[in-house]
Structure 1
């Protein structure tokens, strides 16, 4: 079995961060979202991965390389425009051949991995296996209608959803899906929808199975989702504090704080779960909980919680920062007013802000 990982798309819901970086490379718990998916694929015993890329191809290729760091063999497949998931299947036809494959959306996060799903899928029995989960806003997703345990209809982002069962961004297919992808037409969105391809199989009596995801799943396509996943991952690490950096005697660390080698903490209170990467300096700050700070950052006289700070950012004298996403090399300066109201910031790379 091979894997097809989708890492194209423009990431409009994550702007301004995605003006300068691929959405799949935004870090949660100080690791790009895409890497979690690649690790899940490797852990499932799959080694050959076709990685579909678009305009952000250079950044993706630099981050992933040939895949050897993940124990994978990665082949890059260029998609000229984000024309839909079934279009990605079309352009991957030559790479995939007649092998069954798992298709994994690179900006999705699935707790528990896909090992059991891969083991359970038999392409001699089913032509597709879709993952479903109940959501409060099904109109934002592909939605399945299930009767007597059987998928009978799939609709992409319907105005009137037939159920609350959303399609999770992981699919397993036999080679039959290639015929389906070749036959369908663009939807009203101008895209070749994978839901239409699966519906094509259903309409022709081809066996399509479904399973409900019991664990945590999230499409990390917007800021709130990114922050939620970041918090979930930090929570899963537990309350154990691991300090490999330099923390002075007057600083206080509680509740699951990770300080990487080369990081320095001075006169600060860190309330976990918090992850602080190498080379970062934190002085006279109150940090956390649910906060990740990338490598080489400088934080002085500031306070923030439930936030992600990307590498080499600088925050000085800014209190009350909450539920924020701070870009690479961004600079925030303030007069240090501790009575400041809560601030939620979404700053692109290299932004400069005074508050």
Structure 2
């Protein structure tokens, strides 16, 4: 790779990234809507399908981390790193990330209190709430926002380092892998049991995706012909790379599925490091594959459908925040029947409700509710329909 120059220049819009966001949120919904089924349907003849969608689609969190880093470094690397930029950066994080995080932490904590812990005292609940907010545990999915906040605190340091010493960029990907795996190894073999509590809530568990996004975001203008699979970009080396990437992605994804299938169905035991390794490979390759797939879809899908998917991508942060609420309500009314096909429909209904209800609510807020940023971040503003999906910066680096 050639060394990227941090000269000030306006970078092109990449509307396809909204499609990546949409695919990532579909992955999140797939995992969350099948989580109960992987336990309840373990004796079903179709358990392999539930397990497949629950594991192969574990692409959302890692892809969002990659994408957030990609966009941050893509947008900020060519800008002067000064007080004005840092002030604007942290103001956006406070308004559009931290405040919604606090709002939804309080929302879910309150819901859980009234559903399951109504007898707890106010002083106890206030103490519990503060502890959970400071550890990203107010609800199961909020750890993602919590680790992103950790990344945002470190972002200026990495940006400064890569702008000051451009040669470090080519080492970003191996450095990310090394930092992540050093954390895994130290946590497992050096620290006393049980190691760092809530390992998945620490940003070091995702550094390979973060620095992969950083490197690709900086180098994108120089390597986009390697990313975009098109006849005009095809060379022998690129075609071999594309085929190898997709083949390895499928293999890693299926290996990931297999490990969980054998563990859940046949109670086999595997080394936890193997799970980490397979998921890491699966997650890294998925980020690259979805990036490529977004360009394919933008060319092959009808324009109307592309706009619909891009709209989901633009609202994905809000959908991520609110969808567990609809799943929680849905699961409060389980289907009591021995009819297999009705059970399958019930689980499918959970996915459909989480997607459509969340999409509707966030879309409604985006169009009609003032100060919607307090709950859902900086949603896209209503405006005239563009000729192609727009990728507003406020959504990208959210």
Specify the TM-score bucket, using the shorter chain as the normaliser: under 0.3
TM-score, normalised relative to structure 1? 0.28
TM-score, normalised relative to structure 2? 0.26
Q: Which has the higher helix share?
A: 2
Q: Which has the higher strand share?
A: 1
Larger RCO: Structure 1 or Structure 2 (Cα < 8 Å, ≥ 6 residues apart)?
Answer: 2
